[in-house]
Structure 1
Amino acid sequence: MPPRKSPLFDTATTVGKIMSFLGVSALCGLLFMGLVFPLAATGGAAASTGSDILEDVPAEMTEEPLSTPSRIYANDGETLIATFYAENRTPVALDNISQQMQDAIIAIEDERFYQHGGVDGQGLARAAVHTLTQPTRQGASTLTMQYVNNVLNNAAVVRGEGSVLGSFAQEKTYADKLREMKLAVSVEQEMTKDEILEGYLNIVMLGGQNYGVEAAAQHYWGIPASELNIQQSATLAGMVQAPNHFKPDDNPEDSLERRNTVISSMHRNGFITEQERDEAIASDLNVENTNPEPSGCIAAELGPYFCDYVTQTVLTDDTFGENQDEREELLYRGGLNIVTTLDPETQANAEEEVKDTVPPGDDSGAVASMISLDPKTGSIEAMAQSTEWDPDSELSEGSTTLNANVGPDSGGGPNALPVGSTLKPFVAAAWVEEGGSMDDIVDASGSDFEQGDRIEASCVPGGSYRLGVESDSGDDAVWDVENVGDNMDREMSIDYGLYNSVNTATLATAFDMDMCAITDLTDRLNIVEASSGEGMQPTEPSFTIGGTETSPLTLASAYTIFANDGTQCEPRAITEVTDAQGNEYSVPEENCEEVVDGDVVAQVNDTLVNIAERPQAYNAPFERGNPPYAMLGKTGTSGENSNTWFAGSSEGLTSVAHVGRLDSIDPLNEIPINGQSFEWFYGSSMAQPMWYDYMREVGGDYPTGDFPEPSDSPFDDRREDYPREGALPTDGDSSDDDDDSDDDDDDS
């Protein structure tokens, strides 16, 4: 920062010449005699000379709001998630500050506070004599002058200019001191003594990041400023001289000595009796157990990853500043009250469930996560994962700041998560939307797709492309797609193929229609690849069976249409933001749009309900045909068995459960996870049981009605005699056990 230049340093100016000639001691004498400040002025030429000098002294005091902590709350507006601050401060009225605290600061800093008009002539004279006769300097700043100094510094910091006067600097220039004095006189003319004292006690630094007596009282003793006793008040008042040096928890011996000096001054000035003085001096500091106000998401006891998501939202939204520096300044100093959508009970259950499924730091390297949305509003009700939010630890230790539920642009990791078969329902929805039916038959017998096969895609040049030549299936002559389970390579209904997650059935459905009809639907649902932010590509058909990556938040938002009659609401995390001055900031309102016809959704739901409510292979906590309430959903497993899913919904809560890796695509099968070993690791292995347990606990707190029936469903009953095209083989090869391992290279 370049050195400041003041006209007072220029000896060519009138003031500069006078200052150079008089020197500081003579200046103090002049001030005391009333030649500069009309505190005890006698008039005449001397006073006129003082007024002329003041004309050249800059004396504008631009105030800025006090730096105040911001707080993030859950949806009840009361449950605190996290606090952010550069300066820990809680402004309070003077009535909420104990009289002992008021007396202590006056006794040690400005015993003539109620007699002077901003600048104390006697104090100036005493300081001048001391400076002339002693090797040390003695200050003469009144509380009003100190208040001015702090206000100017606060304004400079808020404006990003750094400290202008240096609140606790050992040396101030003549210009600084003159300006401070002139402003102090002006302040005394505009504010009452009580207003000045209140302002001072709320702005003054009291060690570390603690500013103001309320925050300091809470930090050192866990009490409000209204309860500060004599010795506690004296401790804080004594810190003003050198806040960090006299911190009672860091330097108790010097702090105790300084405190006793203040207590003696309180007695000398008549604020306390001799007995009160002696009892206070005999007491201990009692600061063994301080109460630091935690700052940031690392201190969040509830929803630390959601806290980080909200933080990222604020820091990237120009509503809160033109650039990130301004937005950070507002977050850490602006006293924002941010009310979010997070439901405390739902979040607590989500956190318990993911950590019960995969404990933090599990040797497998797996991480469990859960995210829930209200399908009627888009509100994020829960966002949890089985690691601790810690920027200074490693994933292998069970801690990370990587948010498994969101993409890289919102705090997620650089490696997106392969979604497996969770996108298959959208292929079925596109089929129905194009006029088809869930009982239409497709030929799922073909598992080898020849290079050069012509695929219809009306939105690409020429209206089609050739598989393996202009698509992502590679340069090999054949794209080999595998199914799990026997007796799958045959003709079957779209309903049956989706129920059993048959890869070749999904591809046959996609290739029997316009691929652009599918991507048109996924675009409407904002299904994008997490790492690139781009939508699904019609020339890359592997996305239909899991060969793509997206975030759980994106997937959950897309699945809300199945619970909300085809209407999707944009995900939202914040409902209200106000600052310390009561200003309201604009936040997104509920933004809902019907993106798919409700009857289309209802037909696909016929299948999804049967998937979610089949218990025989999923350790479901209810008897077959008797779930706690209506459910729907779909499993998903990446081709590498590195990421597994269950995405589903009740009427009132859409949730996505994920168990997998955040840092690689190494397989998880045959690796013990939380003490359990799996020969094959699928979405049905851990993600779906975790989803069931969680939804059983929290789902009843939301609407639990039935999903709308389709007007022209080809099926009479959703669960009776299912699956509809004949029972699967009973020789152990049932795909109920092996839900949906996708093609060998989902990342192609």
Structure 2
Amino acid sequence: MASRKSPLFDTATTVGKIMSFLGVSALCGLLAAGLVFPLAATGGAAATAGSDLLEEIPAELSEEPLSTPTRVFASDGETLIATFYEENRQPVDYDEISQYMKDAIVAIEDERFYEHGGVDARGTARALVHNLTRSTQQGASTLTMQYVNNVLNNAAIVRGEGRVLFSGINDKTYADKLREMKLAVAVEQEMTKDEILEGYLNIVLLGGQTYGVEAAAQYYWGIPASELNLQQAATLAGMVQSPNYFNPEYNPENSTWRRNVVLDNMLSLGYITEEEHREAREAELGVDPHPQPHGCAQASFANYFCDFVQRQVLSNEAFGEDEEARKTMLYRGGLDIVTTLDADTQRAAEDEVMATVPPGDDSGAVASIISVEPNTGNIVAMAQSTEYDPDRSFADGATTLNMNVGPEFGGGPNALPVGSTLKPFVAAAWVEQGGSMNDIVDATGSEFEQGDWVDASCLPGGGFRLGVEADSEEGDMWSVENVGENMNRRMSIDYGLYNSVNTATLATAFDMDMCDITDLTDRLDIVRASDGEGMNPSQPSFTVGGTELAPLTLASAYTVFANDGVQCEERVFLEITDWQGNSYPVPEEDCSEKLDADVVAQVNDTLVNIAERSPTNNSPFPAGNPPFPMLGKTGTSGENSHTWFAGSTKGLTSVAQIGRLEDIQSLNERRIGNQGPFEWFYGSSMAQPMWYEYIEKVGRNYDTGDFRESPNSEFDNRRESYPRSGALPGGRNGGSSNNSNNSGNNDSSDEDDNNDDDD
């Protein structure tokens, strides 16, 4: 290793000249004779030189908070999700440390600790004689000097300066040693011996990433530091000289020998009796490792939520000016982060997705569920049916990609087509502009000619021509198909949404200003997962689901249906403190009205009927008899590769999704988990039943009240005798869509699972 040049030994400085004049040996002689500390013991030129030298050295110990683990908790503040650390340390008070431990460390590292003032002149003289007469080197660091050394190292690392001092005496320059000595004297004048010993025992390295006696006691024996017995304390004290060489877990013979040296010293100094000494030497090490897992891969549960929290911290300026500073805060700042996650809800979500689509399923499908509280924006569950493991492949059922969020927070590169789950927002825009869910639209058209004009007041020219790209004279014909028979006809907007009729949704959109729709979706922060951009009014395929969203985006948007038009910003933090009791700001609840409550009530009437009157055959409750009020909408991508159910109770909005994570391939005719194969794989096939099973388990833990009623009483009771679409081959109602359109996005269509069930 290249030697470091200290400015104290630069011969261009006054001090450097003094050092050159005195010579290193003379300096060592001064130190050994006690002529440097205290300076009052010296006189003449040597004292003056020593005084000048010491004036060049900082007199105050530059401290930073001790590096301690960050812990992430569920919303109850007690259920631990994960721990992050570079140094596993659990600071404790002096009286929480076994007396054996205190005596052992003094006996082996600094037997005159209670007699000197920071620098031990006798020890320094002994080391000098040894170093001058033998080929090996011996140090003379007191416990106070070692404490100073550790504090300086910790401060340098926290500030990003790297490790500036080293435990080995051969790594230190004389300037390093002088600085330690001066600072040790200063520390002794400011701190009591007990405080110094407490600080030292909390900061010292005791093997691997384990620092301090509390973390070490917990790791090696699973007990607190206050319960360390004699032989355990002697083992830890013996490790200080070389934490790896004397590690009791990996080098038990070395550790036993060193432990016995400590016990011998304790006996000779009168800390223990002959009997205690004999029994301790004969005892086994008894190591029973209790590793402290850390990082999201080792989280106890909610691994993907853990990853989301980690990325939130690393992207938030409140935790540091840049990502490196934020990472230091996360891994060394000793934060206690209380999140919005509800532990019971999360476990129910994990159980449900794993039971529906096991990890590594041959179909390539993955199930996911995310839940948000409508009245707070709190994310309470985030689950998917894969194992969070960076060392295994997706083929083994493992990935670190988070299906529930966008790429900026760990989502995959392949976005998830949302199908018909966006159709309710088209209906809401219609009602917001003065229309009614009872209004009739002409849904006969399934082919749209090149050049048809579509109003879009926010675009240059006030609109665009369908099928004509901005940079060309010609475009492709755009065609869509409906699910079921007899759907290409005139119908109410309500009927079209209830039966998920593509041509009805497009007719609604083309009968209004497209920018009224995108104004609404922009208000609700509905953005594409692929690039974070909002819906493009010149690409109308998004109205029937021809776009890709993160499930969290969709869940947040659907909260307006449960919360009377009010949307709250998603939240993940409830409280953040550090180990010293300092609090950090967390986002407050931020809710605002995005839609008029009466508009929402009209659309809800349709969504309630979809969720409550049309459960699938394997629902946990019969059709028309839900355990509490609910609303929702199914969705299926054009390729039948991704299927959805987005829905809500009054107190919990949840999005369930089943689809392929790695590529877009049809899931038709495939067995998924223990279900299928399905001739046509739709949102009502598995995503909707999974949502029902999940919400039946957790729904009662949240508000299960009624939704706001529509102000139009005639509207409220219009659907007692809906005509249903005809059955398709195989007893299923379904269809497909043509994927050619002016935007290049995938069109979507949905299906009826049976005569009582929509997609």
**Equivalent position of 2:377 in the other structure:** 378
Deviations 1:370-411 (A, max 9, x none): 000000011001000001111222112111110000000111
**Equivalent position of 1:326 in the other structure:** 325
Give the Å deviation of 1:60: 4.0
In 1: Cα distance, 2:480 partner to 2:3 partner: 71
Matched-pair contact (CA < 8 Å) for 2:535–2:542:
yes
Give the Å deviation of 1:580: 2.8
**Equivalent position of 2:621 in the other structure:** 622
**Equivalent position of 2:513 in the other structure:** 514
Give the Å deviation of 1:739: 5.8
**Equivalent position of 1:243 in the other structure:** 243
Q: Which amino acid aligns with 1:212?
A: G
In 2: Cα distance, 1:27 partner to 1:567 partner: 75
Matched-pair contact (CA < 8 Å) for 2:441–2:507:
yes
Q: Percent identity?
A: 70
**Equivalent position of 1:151 in the other structure:** 151
In 2: Cα distance, 1:472 partner to 1:257 partner: 82
In 1: Cα distance, 2:46 partner to 2:141 partner: 24
Give the Å deviation of 1:527: 0.4
Give the Å deviation of 1:303: 0.9
Change (3 A) 1:33 1:51: same
In 2: Cα distance, 1:526 partner to 1:320 partner: 25
Structure 2-normalised TM-score?
Answer: 0.94
Q: Which moved more, 1:471-480 or 1:336-345?
A: 471-480
Change (3 A) 1:704 1:473: farther
**Equivalent position of 2:643 in the other structure:** 644
**Equivalent position of 2:691 in the other structure:** 691
In 2: Cα distance, 1:317 partner to 1:244 partner: 37
**Equivalent position of 2:565 in the other structure:** 566
In 1: Cα distance, 2:489 partner to 2:715 partner: 21
Structure 1-normalised TM-score?
Answer: 0.95
**Equivalent position of 1:391 in the other structure:** 390
Q: Which moved more, 1:18-27 or 1:661-670?
A: 18-27
Change (3 A) 1:293 1:419: same
Q: Which amino acid aligns with 2:543?
A: T
Q: Which amino acid aligns with 1:683?
A: G
Matched-pair contact (CA < 8 Å) for 1:682–1:738:
no
In 2: Cα distance, 1:474 partner to 1:300 partner: 56
Give the Å deviation of 1:487: 1.1
> What 5-or-longer segments of structure 2 have no aligned partner?
748-759
In 2: Cα distance, 1:472 partner to 1:577 partner: 52
Give the Å deviation of 1:620: 1.9
In 2: Cα distance, 1:374 partner to 1:615 partner: 24
In 2: Cα distance, 1:626 partner to 1:651 partner: 17
Deviations 1:404-454 (A, max 9, x none): 000001110111100000000001111111111111111111111111111
Q: Which amino acid aligns with 2:739?
A: D
Change (3 A) 1:714 1:532: farther
In 1: Cα distance, 2:473 partner to 2:281 partner: 83
**Cα root mean square deviation, aligned:** 2.2
In 2: Cα distance, 1:17 partner to 1:442 partner: 95
| Mapped pair 1:744 → 2:739 | yes
Matched-pair contact (CA < 8 Å) for 2:468–2:476:
no
Give the Å deviation of 1:717: 2.9
In 1: Cα distance, 2:205 partner to 2:92 partner: 15
Matched-pair contact (CA < 8 Å) for 1:36–1:53:
no
Q: Which amino acid aligns with 1:71?
A: R
The correspondence of residues 38-187 of structure 1 with structure 2, limited to 5 A, is 38=38, 41=41, 47=47, 50-168=50-168, 170-187=170-187
Matched-pair contact (CA < 8 Å) for 1:379–1:572:
yes
Give the Å deviation of 1:253: 1.3
In 2: Cα distance, 1:704 partner to 1:575 partner: 24
Secondary structure of the residue that 1:71 maps to in structure 2? strand
The correspondence of residues 497-536 of structure 1 with structure 2, limited to 5 A, is 497-536=496-535
Matched-pair contact (CA < 8 Å) for 1:70–1:332:
yes
Please point out which of 722, 726, 735 is paired with 1:729.
726
**Equivalent position of 1:200 in the other structure:** 200
Secondary structure of the residue that 1:465 maps to in structure 2? strand
Deviations 1:222-249 (A, max 9, x none): 1111011111111111111111221111
Secondary structure of the residue that 1:613 maps to in structure 2? helix
In 1: Cα distance, 2:169 partner to 2:352 partner: 54
Deviations 1:253-274 (A, max 9, x none): 1111111111111111111111
Q: Which amino acid aligns with 2:726?
A: P
In 2: Cα distance, 1:472 partner to 1:373 partner: 42
In 1: Cα distance, 2:132 partner to 2:476 partner: 97
The correspondence of residues 243-642 of structure 1 with structure 2, limited to 5 A, is 243-287=243-287, 289-470=288-469, 477-615=476-614, 617-642=616-641
Matched-pair contact (CA < 8 Å) for 2:468–2:475:
no
Change (3 A) 1:433 1:478: same
In 1: Cα distance, 2:216 partner to 2:61 partner: 27
Matched-pair contact (CA < 8 Å) for 2:72–2:338:
yes
Q: Which amino acid aligns with 1:396?
A: A
Give the Å deviation of 1:742: 4.7
In 1: Cα distance, 2:10 partner to 2:504 partner: 87
Matched-pair contact (CA < 8 Å) for 2:639–2:666:
yes
Matched-pair contact (CA < 8 Å) for 2:90–2:202:
yes
In 1: Cα distance, 2:72 partner to 2:735 partner: 40
In 2: Cα distance, 1:28 partner to 1:73 partner: 53
Secondary structure of the residue that 1:549 maps to in structure 2? coil
Secondary structure of the residue that 1:577 maps to in structure 2? strand
Q: Which moved more, 1:46-55 or 1:531-540?
A: 46-55
| Mapped pair 1:660 → 2:655 | no
Matched-pair contact (CA < 8 Å) for 1:207–1:244:
yes
Matched-pair contact (CA < 8 Å) for 1:373–1:379:
yes
